[in-house]
Amino acid sequence: MTSSSFGSRLEESVKKTISENPVVIYSKTWCSYSMEVKSLFKRIGVEPLVIELDQLGPQGPQLQKVLERLTGQYTVPNVFIGGKHIGGCTDTVKLHHKGELTTLLSDLNISTKSLQQP
């Protein structure tokens, strides 16, 4: 019984985190895809809230399970913008290349550095 109430408490805390922070990345410090997404946001001048699952001890895997339940995605990075799940690294980079990432961010009044497309 306690584990399910614990799970729903974690779920509430995830929902609270993603609703209170415009950009949230659930990440792992060693994950190259996570690094890529974090550096993408750094390049466009946006400071996301980064939660490193591998630094949370036993709560990390539990949080990852909650994220999977909420989003259907088990892998990191798990990216949220404006409380909406936008996906992982590939999804985020794709949005960026289509110019939609900056649109999502500017809808939240988050200014981004304009990047020259390569």
Provide the CB-side half-sphere exposure for 20 (13 A, CA).
Answer: 6
Is the Cβ–Cβ distance between 87 and 79 less than 8 Å?
yes
pLDDT reading at 55 higher than 90: yes
pLDDT reading at 118 higher than 90: no
Q: What residue has token string 């410090």? A: 29
pLDDT reading at 6 higher than 80: no
Which H or E run includes 97?
A: helix 89-97
- Checking phi first, is residue 23 left (phi over 0); if not, alpha (psi -120 to 50) or beta? beta
Give 113's pLDDT tier (boundaries 50, 70, 90): confident
> How far apart are the C-alpha atoms of 78 and 107, rounded to whole Å?
20
Residue pLDDT, tens place only, 97-112: 999 999 999 999 988 8
Q: What percent of the chain has pLDDT above 90?
A: 83
